[in-house]
Amino acid sequence: MSDNVTPLLEARGITKAYGNVAALTGVNFHLNSGEIVGLVGDNGAGKSTLVKTLCGAHQPTDGQILIDGEEVTFSSPKESRERGIEVVYQDLALANELSVAENIFLGREMKRSGVMGLLGAMDRKAMYASAIETLHSLAIEIKSVETRCGLMSGGQRQAVAVARAIMWGSKVLLLDEPTAALAVVESDKIAGLVTGVKEKGVGVILVSHNLPQVHELCDRVVVLLRGRVVTELHRGEYNIDDMVSWITGTALHKK
Ligand SMILES: Nc1ncnc2c1ncn2[C@@H]1O[C@H](COP(=O)(O)OP(=O)(O)O)[C@@H](O)[C@H]1O
Ligand SMILES: [Mg+2]
């Protein structure tokens, strides 16, 4: 990647405090088109807080967020969604009382933009067919898109959340531990789908504790330690042990 490319998404000096807890301190971060960037760190390092701050679910205490080089203030995830940014939250956020298809199309039916073009002109059947196709590509056994999400397993619900993000995320996907509840086969399918969207120029931020998967999939890995970025690792230049020593902080003392 050349240095003079304008990133799809950039965070400059992001600080986020929850009362007295400094969850993030001075975080600089960028994501280019067609890049998969891993975001790793121990529990409590600030990964989910960064994801929520980037999409507007939380407001930063300080710092700036830029989309295509333009400073933005997202007061809710609805606003970032309108810019093609989709999130799979660690705690999922599907509506349990609604069906799979209703979850996938929640709040979208009247929208005129997004990967599916003129949704208003499309009939329900076509939308459902598209949902079925995406779920099918995840190889997740869901008997019907009419099934209520509350009746499904954790793995199935996670697959639906990822499918929804992949269907709608035209610019950026923020995936916060998207494969944590999945079996190996399902997790590999999601890895394949993420690689597919990368090839279309979407930028992906992947938060994961599955370090071998992060090592394999990601072009760069940003390591957070107690709310600060401590290093950035580049594909081919590190191994999993190196990543672990940055996550635990021991690499800081080796220099
Ligand atoms: N809504 C919240 N209110 C108060 N503290 C929070 C909240 N969310 C996260 N934190 C705190 O912020 C820090 C970072 O948490 P989090 O972003 O969830 O880390 P990670 O996703 O890396 O495990 C932790 O100390 C956590 O307890
Ligand atoms: Mg988290």
The domain spans of the chain are 9-253
Ligand nearest to C-alpha 44 = 1
Query: Is the distance from the beta carbon of residue 208 to the nearest atom of ligand 1 less than 6 Å?
Result: no
**Which residue has better confidence, 187 or 251?**
251
Q: How confident is the model at residue 255 (pLDDT cuts 50, 70, 90)?
A: low
**Which residue has better confidence, 134 or 27?**
27
Query: Is the distance from the beta carbon of residue 48 to the nearest atom of ligand 1 less than 6 Å?
Result: yes
Give pLDDT, residue 124: 67
Report percent pLDDT > 90 for the chain. Answer: 55
- Check whether domain 9-253 has CATH 3.40.50.300, yes or no: yes
Residue to probe by mutation, ligand 1, list 14, 16, 20, 21, most atoms within 8 Å of CB: 21
DSSP calls for 5-46:
SPPSEEEEEEEEEETTEEEEEEEEEEE-TT-EEEEE-STTSS
Q: How does pLDDT run across 64-86, given as a tens digit for each residue?
A: 999 999 999 999 999 999 999 99
Nearest ligand 1 atom to the CA of 49 is: 17
Can you tell me the distance from the alpha carbon of 227 to that of 208, in angstroms, rounded to the nearest whole number?
16
Enter the pTM of the model.
Answer: 0.88
**Which residue has better confidence, 241 or 127?**
241
Q: How confident is the model at residue 173 (pLDDT cuts 50, 70, 90)?
A: very high
**Which residue has better confidence, 123 or 100?**
100
